[in-house]
Amino acid sequence: VFVSKPEYHWQTSKTYYNPVFSGEIRIPLDAVPVEKFSARKVIARRAAMELTKGAIVNLGVGIPEAVSSVAAEEGCGEDITLTTEAGGIGGVPASSHDFGCCWNAEATIEMADEFDLYDGGALDLGVLGVLQVGPNGNVNVSKRYGEGMGVGGFLNVAGGASTVVFAATFTGGLKKGEGPQYEIGDGHIKVVREGNSKKFVNEIEQISFNGEASLDMGKRILYVTERCVFELTKEGLLLTEIAPGIDLQKDILDQMEFSPVISKDLTQMPADIFNESWGGLKKIMDQKNGK
């Protein structure tokens, strides 16, 4: 038995100890760090538009983490119940290397019990990250450049949620600093430098999520990026929304290894999510609730 010295036994990989995460104190939610304006925040805003009042939600690691910050900033945090795989229920899930903890959690339960909640189908929405997407909607999150990473709780969330939103930048980078760069503002986005790694590919390295089987289960499946939105159908990925300032051929179709189905009713992503300040989420959620 090893007794860990306090200086070696941090609460998270980022934080030595935060009494908010352990439920000992609560803080004003406006003291929670706000997500900086970026492509990541734009994606999180569009993903947050799938929230409904009273929904039970899980957010994956990476870009999905930012949905909690967006909901809190928009004043909608109390309208939904955000959860974490580590056992947090309610409050605002922490991001980055504090992932798994919650600011002002309403309760913290055993991790196994949290997974029972997911496996039982209680999740209304799961927002998850993605490494690769195939033509039939299959997703890889568990293998990268030949190296296995594992799926963690991804399977439980994706399997238990009635609506699944995969949130990621449209392209990536093989190495740090090689990803896409953008100019964002004034209601539009421009790709300044394209990433050198495609995410929408003919063959994914490993199937972590089966799109066809999930459709057969009646799930609604979306793929949200900074430049467009797809919905999975029996015919494949359906392009339903395109961002203002994005060229369909150059910025989307040329950056995919396969051709999606393009909706006859292709619409523009909301221009206001590409501004520094937004303030539109509450109205969207009210409209969904019939107000």
Residues assigned a catalytic role: 85
Rounded distance, CA 271 to CA 267, Å? 11
CB 90 within 8 A of CB 52: no
For 32, how many CA atoms within 13 A lie in the half-sphere containing its CB? 28
Rounded distance, CA 105 to CA 87, Å? 10
| φ, ψ of residue 252 in degrees (nearest 5) | -120, -70
| φ, ψ of residue 247 in degrees (nearest 5) | -90, 120
CB 113 within 8 A of CB 88: no
